[in-house]
Each structure stands twice: as C-alpha cells, then as structure tokens.
Structure 1
Amino acid sequence: MNIIILGAGRVGESVAESLVTERNDITVIDTNPDRLRALQERLDLRGVTGNGIQPSVLEQAGAPDADMLIACCPMDETNLVACKVAHDVFNIQTTIARVRSPEFPEESALMSRAGFAVDAVIAPEVSLTNYIRKLIDYPEALQVLEFSQGLVSLIAVRAISGGPMVRHVISELPQLVPDIAMRFVAIYRTDERGQDHQIICDGTTRIEPGDEVFVLAATRDIRRVLDTLRRRDQPVKRVLIAGGGRVGLRLARDIAGHCRVKVIETDAKRCEYLTTQLPADTLVLQGDSTDEELLEDEGVRDCDLFLALTSDDEDNIMGCLLAKRLGAKRVLALINRRAYADLVQGTQIDIALSPAQTVIGELLAHVRRGDVEAVYSLRRGAAEALQTVARGDRKSSKVVRRRIDEIPLPSGAQIGAIVRGEGEDAQVIIAHHDTVIEPDDHVIVFVPHKRMVREVEKLFQVSALFF
C-alpha cells in the first residue's frame, strides 16, 4: 500500500515505524529537513520537505498514486485541510486525521466528503484517557482491550501467588474455575537474564508467578478472570497525577467523581487554568513531580495510583521511581521513546505506556487487508490482537465451516474468541480446538509477531479461486 504520512513528530514517527515494517511504501512530509533526514537514516522510507497542505508538495510525495493519507501534524487545521486537498485534488481513497479538538467528531457532517473529507479521526489524548481509565477500573491488569462493541475483552495480567490458576497447568482450568469461560492466548516469562520470552501456551503449560498472561473472555467475566491469576487489589480511590497537560486534564476531569484526585503541574498559569476546569474538590498543586519533599507532603505513600503524564520522559520515569520508593502502591509512566519504554517496563515501574502505541491500532484497522474491524498493538508494537470477520463459504474461504484445529495458523497465533450474531442476539464463544467457524463470525486472533499478520490476513480473505 502507498501511504503518505504528514508530520514527522512523535505520532508520525511511530506510525511510520509501524507501517514500514509491514512492507508498505511510506512517504513522510514535514517542514523540518533535519527531522526527515534522521527518519530516513533509520527507516526504509522517503522524505519530502514542505507544507503538506500544498498540492505541489503532495504531488511530489506521490499523491496521485497514494492509497492513504495519514495527517498527524500538531495543528488540527493543517490535518483537516490536508485531507480535503488530498481527496478533492488527488482522489486519495482513505484519509485519516489526527484531531485534538472535540469540536470535530468523526460522525460530524464537517468530516463528510462534502466537508473536510476525513474518513477516520484519531485522537491520542482520548485513546490514552480511555486506556488509563480501564486500568483504574481494573487495577490488577496491565492492559484491558475491548472487542466487538465491548462484548469481549483481552486482558494482560501479571500472575502472582495466591491466584487459583497460578502453579497449575491450563488443562486444569475447568476443574479449578468451572463456571468461567476463558482462553489463554499467550504467556511471556522472564528468564534468568531478565529477557522476556513467549512460551508454548497449551493444556500442558504451567502458569508461574511473574508470568505476563494474555487472556480472552467475555467482558462481563473480567473481574472473575483476574481473580484466577492474582489476589484482588483494593479499588483505586486516591490518584496523584503528575502533569496537567491535555491528557492529565482530561483524565482528572473523567475520574474526579470516582476518585480523590491531586494534580501536580510546574507551570503557574496552567495551574490557574486547571482550577477553572476541574471540580472544586480536585487539588491542583504547583510544583515538580520529582521533588521528594513535595511528594511526601502530599501523601504519595497513601495513593493507590501515581500517574506521570508530563511531556518529559525522564521526569516521568524519575517521578514514578521516586513515588514507588516513597510507598505508592502502583505507578504508571507515559513514555514517548520506545527504547525507554522497553527499558523500564516490568521494573519498579508497573506500567510504561507509549502514547503513540495506543493509537497505532486505530490506524492499522484501515491498513489491514480483508474484513478487519479492530486492531490493538501489544507489547509495545511487537504483537497484535485483531478482530476480523469470516466471509464466504467452505469453497471460497480457508476458515469458514472449519474447525479451529484445521486452520493453518502461524506458530504461536491463536484464535481466542468468536462473536456470533448481532445486537442483543450476539453470542460470545470462547474458542476450543473443535470450535467451527461460521460465516459472518467475528473472530478475535492473537498474533505474537507482526511478521505473521499478513499470513493471518490471507487466511481470512475470500478467494473465488480457492477450492
């Protein structure tokens, strides 16, 4: 696929990095030649220097032959205008815009072909807020991702001693927790050198303390699934947020009615603004989140969750490490640099969250071949979970009317759940080896390596020539 990415900032860079690995032809437009040069030296893509809303620049970037434009510049106006020019002048089939303002929702008439011609809107701040809110609702989890209008969830959790399934093999699940349907789709274990490795996940696999376990289950059963792998944590009631930017403000506003919230912000003017936007019982403090005395005075030892959400990776890491040392029960750091996120994940920092990775899945759903409805990027981009629709019949499809153990999935990939039917009649089926896939089933697949995605997509593509 020929894809033009407008903007080589943090989001644009992460999008380019993800799409280049899938053998797409990528061209990045940016006004900063130094940033483009650095990107070209690291990735197999082409850079064009210029203003992406100008037709001449888009033409130089190959717009007449492009399949998709992803506009992720810092300014909403630039992204919206670029999509309009791309569609009206070059007839680019799919346009995606990063839009921060809530005034331009995706369903608005302004986004239609007659308006700005935006096919999909990505809003990193909204995605981050939703992601973190799930972790507040389920503090035991490392990740909670929903599929099929929220009917099915994929849960990542760190197993610890005390859970009914820990130190037992997966085949014992029906006896240990007979009333919960779930499917273990992946287990990652840390070796003696501190390296994570995926281990074989079948009926003979024993779940050990410290394993990072991915489980698919009906959303209504999330709480009970978590209870099988670790002791239940106390509900999150006290939250300390370091950073009152867009994400910090949005999250504080969202959880204010459910938790006691304190926000630490360094900028005095921003603090004044925050006080006008947040409820009166939300305490806004001017200060440095890496100030040990400040954290002690504000009772960080008593907080259930410390969230470092500033724009500075180093401050977020140091703030979390300090909060953890001072007694915070759980800490989350927002980290833009992927190398930093890989370095600190699983250490004293409970969760290292990359903002760009939370929106990559929304983009990938438009890039994927076949009838892919949802994509989530997992383990900092190394793995994926996708929801695709099985189309055709036994003659035209490699999956329809076949048992799961008859489907030639790549090694390590697993079909975890199926949603059959629509609306109130939808039925969640946790997959087993003898489950048969029917036409129009929504199938949720865990893929441990991105290089396997294309093979999985081909399995679900309908072919008139396949017999």
Structure 2
Amino acid sequence: MKIVIIGAGVVGTTLAKYLAGHQNSVTVIELDPTVATAANNRLDVSVVTGSGALPSVLKSAGLKKADMLIAVTPDDGTNLLACAIAKQFGVRKRIARIRSDEYIGIPSELDLEELGVSIVVQPENEVVERIRQIVELPDVTQTANLQDESVYMRGYILREGMPLCGIKLSDFNQHPHYSPVFIVTVIRQGRALIPSGDLSLCAGDEIIAVMPKTAFGNFKRLLNVDEHKLGKVIVYGDSVIATKLAVALRSDVKRVVLVDPDEVHAREVASQYDGIEVLHGDCTNSEVLQEIKAGSSDYFIAATKDGEDNIVSALMAKAEGARHVAAIRDDSRYASLFETMGLNHIINPRKITSAKILESIHLLPMGSLIKLKNLDLEITHFQANGSSKIIGKPLKDFRLLDSKEIIVACILRGDQLILPDGETVINDEDRVMVLCPKKSVATAKKLFI
C-alpha cells in the first residue's frame, strides 16, 4: 500500500516505522523543518516538509495515488482538512486523530464521514477507557485488548475462597458455565505451567485468561469482584485526561476525588460536573497527600501534563498507603524499574494511540501483548497468512510446538475464540497468541512468515 502520514511526532514516526517495515510505501509530511530533518535521518521513508493542510504539499507527497491517509498532527483542523482533501483526491481510507469534543459525540452536529474522515481516533478517550478497564478489576496484573477492543486478555492472582480455587482446567475450559472465558496459562511460584487438563487451580496462582468483552462480567463474578465498587479513587491532574477520567469514573466508584494543581481550572471543573469532589493541590507535596488522605484510597491515578510529576506523585501516594497507583507517562523507558518501586501501572498515551490506529486498519503489530512480570516469558500475537508455514496442518505435526517451549495459547478466528489442542489446524488470517520465552519469539515468528 501507499500511505501518507501527516505529522512526524512520536505517533507519526512510530506508525511510519512499523508500516514501512511491512512492505508499504510511506511518505511523511511535517510542518517543522527541524522535526522533518530528524525524521528523514531516522526513518527509511520519504519526508516532505510543509503543511499537511495544503493541496500542493499533499500532491507533492503523492496523495492522489495513495491508498491511505493518516493525519496525526497536534492540530485537529489540519487533520480534518487533510482528510477532506484526501476524500476529493479519491483516497479510500482516511484516518484522523481528533482531540476536541467539539467535533465528536452528542453535542456535535458534524458528520465527520461526510467531511472526509473514515476513522476517528481520540487519544484522550482511548486512555480514559484503558484506565477504566484497569480500575474495574483493581487487582489485575496484566491487561491487553484485541480485535478492536472486543477481546480481553487479563491476568489475576487467585485468593482463598474464590470460586475458581480447586477447579481443574479441563472442567473450567469445557464447562458452559465458564465459557467463553479461557485460561491460557497459570503462573505458580514463579513458574509458568503448561495448561494441561488435570491442572487444578489454587490460591496464589496467577491466571492469564482470554475472553470476549461481553464475557468480562462473567469473569469478574468468577473472581468474586462483580458486586464490589471501589470506595475511593483519587485522580491528580489538570489535563483533559484527568477531567475526563474523573467524570467517567463517577458510575464505577463510590467516591471520586479530583485534585487539580491549577486553582482556576479546579473551580471551572467543580462548577461543571456533579458527583466529583474537586480540590486544589500539588500531590508531589507529602503534606497535600496527607490532607487528602491518599493512604485511604483504593486507587491513585496521576494524570497531569508532566510525566515525571506523575511518576513521583504516584510513588509518594503508594508510600502513604494507597492500595493501587497508576501514572500517565509518554516515555516507556524505565517502566520496569518504576514497577519494582511500587507503581502498579504506567499508561503511555502515545503507545495506546499508535496501537489503536494500527488495530483500526487491521494491521496490529506482530509482537508482545504481555510480558509476564518476573518471568522471561511473553504472550505474543501473530497473524497467519496464506504463506505461513503453520497453516493447513494439525499443531501436533510441528516439532517446534511439540517441545512445549512454544505454546499456542489461543486462536482468534473472526469473532470466534478457540482454545487449541493437538488436532487444531490454523487457517489463513487467524490471529494466534503464543506463549514462549523471549529468546524463542523470533523462532515462533518463523512459523507465521
């Protein structure tokens, strides 16, 4: 495919690098000459310097011959206008990153499809939804979504008294009461166990389960967490994400406290929304954390515009006694270090946005879905195609899989979830989740190319 990307920020360059690496012809348009030069030096793509809202620049980038436009500049107007021009140029798929609610939702009277946008991605909304998914299952250890958010993968540590304790996997994965929730692996005492049918679950096990989104309520009931609303969640920040998150959590949590470092903004939010306690304060100050009783919160979520402040305030809240803490940070470096220091979750908005765009155009990267903490194991996603070595034969016929070092954990075939056995045959376009050590990911990948 020929693809034009407008915007050479982190999201734009991430998309360009991935798409160019998968036999696509990619051209990037960037307004800032310095950023354009850096992208040209770093990426194996064509780079055009200029405004993505100008027809002359779009023509010079070859938009008239393009199959797809992805507009991810910081300016909504530029992204919308570029899509409108692309529609007139005959480009089939036109994706725009839109931040303002003015253009989307019930208050808006605009038809974005008519304007030229075929797929809309709202970064703040995507981040809020991801955090809500974490908060609705507070002790979740691992999270990943597939199939346009319609399939969930979740990790959870079992405790005494849960309905799952004592159940054999053969009974669980075949019993209609539990279907369609599949347990794809069990981590016990630091070891990932092969999910054989005679394995019984017990307290202390960490299970990794896959399910359709529609079965998530059933999964929560199996964990005895369905009826328990969190008592208190503190959201710290003056960002759009912080405000949207606090508003969204009102229906999920008994008490939502928004701590805003900007006093004027705090007053505006307090006057606009009911059901939220809005306070003014700086949560990098331990006295403020004590005043708001951060230690009594079920969740403390740091969502300011400064990623470093988010890390610091979340770790300080954890030290005060907050049960769970999460921080928003655009930089993924040192994430594992921060987790060892007590951070439960680090949310990267740019990574979420890039993944959402690739998912929306059915080009989700082959790569790690979940890195199992404290283990050298990954659950990795691959997609089979017509030339893949793994299609057309029963899994038991592959020597690589027979070694049990590489395990096919689950198959997504259209809307169907399949728990495979030795007789299972993988088809073209199946999405396959594989459990293997990090060193074996490259070997597993050879089965799908």
**Match for 1:378: what amino acid?**
L
8 A contact 1:162–1:230 mirrored in 2 = no
How many percent identity over aligned positions?
A: 26
Alpha-carbon offset, residue 209 of structure 1 = 9.9
C-alpha distance in structure 1 between counterparts of 2:268 and 2:445, whole Å = 47
Provide the residue aligned with 1:465 in structure 2.
none
Q: What secondary structure sits across from 2:256 in the alignment?
A: strand
Provide the residue aligned with 1:154 in structure 2.
153
| Alignment counterpart, residue 308 of structure 2, candidates 300, 305, 314 | 314
**Does the alignment pair 1:173 with 2:172?**
no
Provide the residue aligned with 1:331 in structure 2.
325
Return the TM-score normalized by structure 1.
Answer: 0.73
**Match for 1:70: what amino acid?**
I
- Alignment coverage as a number of residue pairs: 429
Residue by residue, what CA displacement relative to the aligned partner does 1:340-383 show, whole Å, maximum 9, x if unpaired?
Answer: 435434541001111122233332235447xx8x9997349x97
Provide the residue aligned with 2:196 in structure 1.
203
Provide the residue aligned with 1:378 in structure 2.
369
Q: 1:164 to 1:275 in 2, by over 3 A?
A: closer
8 A contact 1:7–1:28 mirrored in 2 = yes
| Alignment counterpart, residue 433 of structure 2, candidates 442, 446, 450 | 446
C-alpha distance in structure 2 between counterparts of 1:349 and 1:150, whole Å = 25
Provide the residue aligned with 1:265 in structure 2.
260
Q: What secondary structure sits across from 1:141 in the alignment?
A: coil
Q: 1:398 to 1:325 in 2, by over 3 A?
A: closer
| Alignment counterpart, residue 344 of structure 2, candidates 350, 357, 365 | 350
**Does the alignment pair 1:249 with 2:263?**
no
Q: 1:341 to 1:64 in 2, by over 3 A?
A: farther
Q: 1:146 to 1:38 in 2, by over 3 A?
A: closer
Task: Structure 2: state its 5+ residue gaps.
Answer: 372-377
8 A contact 2:390–2:426 mirrored in 1 = no
Q: 1:118 to 1:232 in 2, by over 3 A?
A: closer
Task: Structure 1: state its 5+ residue gaps.
Answer: 192-197, 392-396, 422-426, 459-467
Q: 1:128 to 1:271 in 2, by over 3 A?
A: same
Q: What secondary structure sits across from 1:337 in the alignment?
A: coil
Q: What secondary structure sits across from 2:111 in the alignment?
A: helix
Q: 1:406 to 1:231 in 2, by over 3 A?
A: farther
**Match for 1:276: what amino acid?**
S
Alpha-carbon offset, residue 265 of structure 1 = 1.6
Alpha-carbon offset, residue 127 of structure 1 = 1.0
Q: 1:445 to 1:164 in 2, by over 3 A?
A: farther
8 A contact 2:169–2:201 mirrored in 1 = no
**Match for 1:238: what amino acid?**
K
Q: 1:120 to 1:177 in 2, by over 3 A?
A: closer
Alpha-carbon offset, residue 79 of structure 1 = 0.4
8 A contact 1:161–1:230 mirrored in 2 = no
Q: What secondary structure sits across from 1:52 in the alignment?
A: coil
Q: 1:102 to 1:258 in 2, by over 3 A?
A: same
Provide the residue aligned with 2:272 in structure 1.
277
8 A contact 2:185–2:207 mirrored in 1 = yes
Alpha-carbon offset, residue 289 of structure 1 = 2.0
Counterparts of 1:85-96 in structure 2, within 5 Å, are 85-89=85-89, 91-96=90-95
Q: What secondary structure sits across from 2:290 in the alignment?
A: helix
C-alpha distance in structure 2 between counterparts of 1:376 and 1:127, whole Å = 20
Alpha-carbon offset, residue 221 of structure 1 = 5.3
8 A contact 1:3–1:66 mirrored in 2 = yes
**Match for 1:83: what amino acid?**
C
Alpha-carbon offset, residue 137 of structure 1 = 1.4
C-alpha distance in structure 1 between counterparts of 2:40 and 2:434, whole Å = 28
C-alpha distance in structure 1 between counterparts of 2:413 and 2:271, whole Å = 44
8 A contact 1:241–1:261 mirrored in 2 = yes
RMSD: 4.7
Alpha-carbon offset, residue 331 of structure 1 = 0.5
Alpha-carbon offset, residue 92 of structure 1 = 2.4
Return the TM-score normalized by structure 2.
Answer: 0.76
Alpha-carbon offset, residue 277 of structure 1 = 2.4
**Match for 1:84: what amino acid?**
A
**Match for 1:337: what amino acid?**
D
8 A contact 1:217–1:430 mirrored in 2 = no
